[in-house]
Amino acid sequence: MSTIGQSRSGVVNTTETPNYNVPGFSNVTPVHGPNQTVVDVDDMSIGDENYKNQHTIHRLESIVDRIVSRAGPPKSALGNPGPLGLAAFAATTFMLSTYNAGLLVSTTENIVLPMALWYGGAIQVAAGLWEYATNNTFGATAFCSYGAFWLSFATLSKFWAPTGYASTQDINSAVGIYLLSWTIFTAYMFIGSLRMSYSLVMVFGLLEITFALLTAGHFNLHPTDATNLIKAGGWFGLFTAFAAWYASAAVVINGSFGCQLLPVGVLGPLNSNMSYLPRAVKRRLTASSLAAPKSPTNADNETEHSTPMSKRV
C-alpha cells in the first residue's frame, strides 16, 4: 500500500464548494464549517481495491486546485514604493532642470551629482526592485530605468571624456545620442501610462517633451538655437518634477488620511464599450475577451489586477 504526501490534512465539504478566504499561495488555511470532514491524506491508499479512497483523493485535489485559482498571485507585505521612486525622480529632475533652464550659474552644476547618485539613482533603483516584489512591472521598469539614468548621468558628468580630440559639436552629438535613447524609452512608457492615471500621463508626457527638447538642443548646429532648446527643456523638466511630486504626494496624503484629497484620475484598461475607440480596436478587444478563459480569480479581482499601478498613483 502506498501513501501520499507528508503528514498533511485537508478539508472535504460534503455538501457544497467551500468558501476559502485565502490571501495568497503562501498562506492557505482551510476554513472548517458544517458538514465538513477532516481527511488525513497519509491514511489514504491508491489502488483499485479501494475506490472510495481514490474518489476522496480526487475530491481533495480538486479542492486544492480551487484554492490555488482563487488565491491569485502572491500578495506582498511590502508597502507601496511608488511615492518614494516618484519623489526621488522629482527632486533630482528639479535640481538639474534649474541649471538647464538657466536659473543658476553652470559653475555650481556639480551639486547635482550627489543627488543623482544617491536619491535619484540608488534609491530609485531600490524602489524599482520593490515594485517587482509587488508584481508591478510598469513601476519596476520605470524606476529601475530612470534610476539607472541618474547613475549614468552622474558617471557621465564626472568621469566621461572623449578618448581623443573631439570638437564641441562632436561632444554635443554624443550627448544627443545618449538623450535620444531615453527619449525613445520614455515614448513607449508614456503610451503605457495612458491606461494608468492622469497623474502618470502628465509625468511621462512632460518628461517626453523634456527629453525631446534636450536631444534637439544637443543636435542643433546653431549655438543660439541650441541654447534656447536646452533652456526650454529645462523649463519642461521643472514642470515634470512638480508633476512627479504631485503624484507622489497624492499617494502619501491620500493614504494617510484614508480618502482621496488629491485626485489622480485612475483610468484602467481599454474595453470594447468605449465609444471613442476605432472599430478595429473594438473588434480586437471583443475577440480577446471572448478567447480568454475566465477563472474565479479573474472574475472577482479583474479590476484589482488589471492596472497594478493605477490604484497606487
What gap in Å lies between CA 87 and CA 123, rounded to an integer?
10
- Domain-wise residue ranges, the chain: 9-71, 82-257
Rg (CA), the chain: 27
Which grid coordinates belong to 160?
A: 566621461
Neighbours of 310 (CB within 10 A): 22
pLDDT tens, position by position, 239-278:
999 999 999 999 999 999 999 999 999 887 776 677 766 7
Residue 313: pLDDT band by 50, 70, 90 thresholds? low
Task: Please state whether beta strands 36-40 and 9-13 pair in parallel, antiparallel, or not at all (unpaired).
Answer: antiparallel
* Cβ–Cβ < 8 Å for 193, 203: yes
Question: pTM, whole model, 2 decimals?
Answer: 0.69
Please report, for residues 113, 169, 230, the alpha-carbon distance to residue 101 in angstroms, rounded to integers and kept in the order given.
17, 21, 7
**Which one, of 296, 28, 24, 260, lies nearest residue 133 by Cα?**
24
Residue 84: pLDDT band by 50, 70, 90 thresholds? very high
Please report, for residues 46, 112, 119, 217, 227, the alpha-carbon distance to residue 107 in angstroms, rounded to integers and kept in the order given.
80, 11, 22, 20, 16
What gap in Å lies between CA 215 and CA 237, rounded to an integer?
13
pLDDT tens, position by position, 173-218:
999 999 999 999 999 999 999 989 999 999 999 999 999 999 999 9
